Amino acid sequence: VRRAFERMRQASRDAGFPGLYLLGEYRGLTARQLGQMKQLGLDYTFAYCWHVPGNPTPQEAMDAQMRSIRKTQELAVLPQVVTVSQAWSGWRDEGSIWKIPPRDFEMLLHQAKDFIGTLPSNELGSKMLLLDNWNEWGEGHYIAPYREHGFGYLDAVRNVFADARESHVDLLPEDIGRGPYDTAYWSQSRRSEELRTLAAKKVFKTGAPEDGLIAWWALDEAKDAPVAFDYSGNRLGGTIRDAKRAKGLDGNALLCDGGSIVVENNPLLSPSHALTIECWVKADAGPLRNNWIANRVFGGAPSAGYRLGVVEGKPCFQIPLTPWSHNLAGNKPLPSGQWNHLAGTFDGQTMRLYMNGEECGTMSRPGPIKPNAFHLCLGNYEVAHPAHFNGLLDEVRLYARALTPEEVRQHCRATAKRP
């Protein structure tokens, strides 16, 4: 750990900075623990929030915090950067709930400011004070007005630390046309919900429904359409993420150059006993070493799901039993600059890989397909990931059964003959 920290410091110096301060969070008063932090190479200790038990009064909470701050200094094991808090409630009933009103909090700030003035001038702690802020939503930190006390806490900070004493006007971001602070988040959230609703539209295309067909992403929507419908009628459409369409083998196709289509998790995406995934691809010229066409195998569950892609220039099909296992590679490279039909099938015992209607690989894999709770990503390993397919993707179909070799050949011939 010490070596890693020193490498971080050296990287900071190499980037032109004078150095790097590493602070370790510890809200206790045990010299042994502080000593271990020092041995690891941390420069300072700080408390995320001083836990004060017993549902204290505001004055008791203030006094307890200052005692902890002074005790840390008396231990003289590791320098500190002082933190003060205005309240504590915790995520659950943790035995103590307390709150310091703004006027009392201003007094606490004065005490903390006076204390840090006694610290050695060469220490970081003499130059700054951390506030365990009064607004914390979803682990996001904001210095913002408070519903109960308005701008009271902000005024307390201003009164103690700001040099300017002239009158001022309290403004919210929306008062000047810039907010509220979470406008962008909620706008994106509403847009995402609109797209999810649109993608779940029940649509069909000639050829559906079909025996065992889970989803059919024909990718024939308008080039600027924000979703890719599922033409099986199962409402498993996906949303477009930084991707465009281009002329495909049949109608339009997905232009794969870093973007993707995200199909949200649905139990239908987790067939357990048999599966087929097939598509048409037109690979760009250039190396394809680790590029994924359709993926549902992620680091959070590397023993579950399935995927189809290209590894070291050859098509591959994976249904893992153990982390990242059972990756079936084809026996010939994927040609570039032309349309190729790919299909991976699994019947509960054997995985088979086909290219242009011909079997190009088999692998024994007895056992069910392990489900996961992830989405399905088309055109890429994951959203905005470098392991994306390069080229065009069209006519993606997913089945809850293993197509027979003859069915694979028929699908290949039928689509290839279309104008």
Report the first-to-last Cα separation within the chain, whole angstroms. Answer: 62
| Region of poorest pLDDT, from 79-83, 112-116, 161-165 | 161-165
Residues 274 and 395 in one domain: yes
**What is the H or E stretch that residue 104 is in?**
helix 102-116
In terms of C-beta density within 10 A (0-12 exposed, 13-18 middle, 19 or more buried), how is residue 321 classed?
middle
Residues 213 and 149 in one domain: no
CB 253, CB 283: distance < 8 Å:
no
Q: What is the SS3 assignment for 296?
A: coil
pLDDT, tens digit (0-9, with 9 covering 90-100), for 149-198 = 889 998 999 999 998 777 888 888 778 887 776 777 888 899 999 999 99
Give the pLDDT of residue 184. 78
Q: Is the pLDDT of residue 142 over 90?
A: no
As for how many domains the chain has, the answer is: 2
Does some domain include residue 345?
yes
Residues 206 and 169 in one domain: no
Segments forming the whole domain that contains residue 15: 2-173
CA gap 54, 56 in Å, rounded: 6
Residues 209 and 329 in one domain: yes
Segment 303-312 shows an average pLDDT of 98
CB 81, CB 124: distance < 8 Å:
yes
Does some domain include residue 180?
no
Report the CATH number that the domain containing residue 358 is assigned in CATH.
2.60.120.200
List Cβ<8 Å contacts ≥24 apart for 148-153. 149/101, 149/102, 152/101, 152/102, 152/103, 153/86, 153/102, 153/105
**Helices 102-116, 152-161: crossing angle, 10 deg rounding:** 30
Q: Phi/psi class of residue 380: alpha, beta or left (left: φ > 0; alpha: ψ in -120 to 50)?
A: beta
Beta strands in 75-121, from DSSP E residues, in sequence order:
83-85, 87-88, 98-99
Does some domain include residue 187?
no
Residues 149 and 242 in one domain: no
Q: What is the SS3 assignment for 410?
A: helix
Note the pTM of the prediction, 2 decimals: 0.67
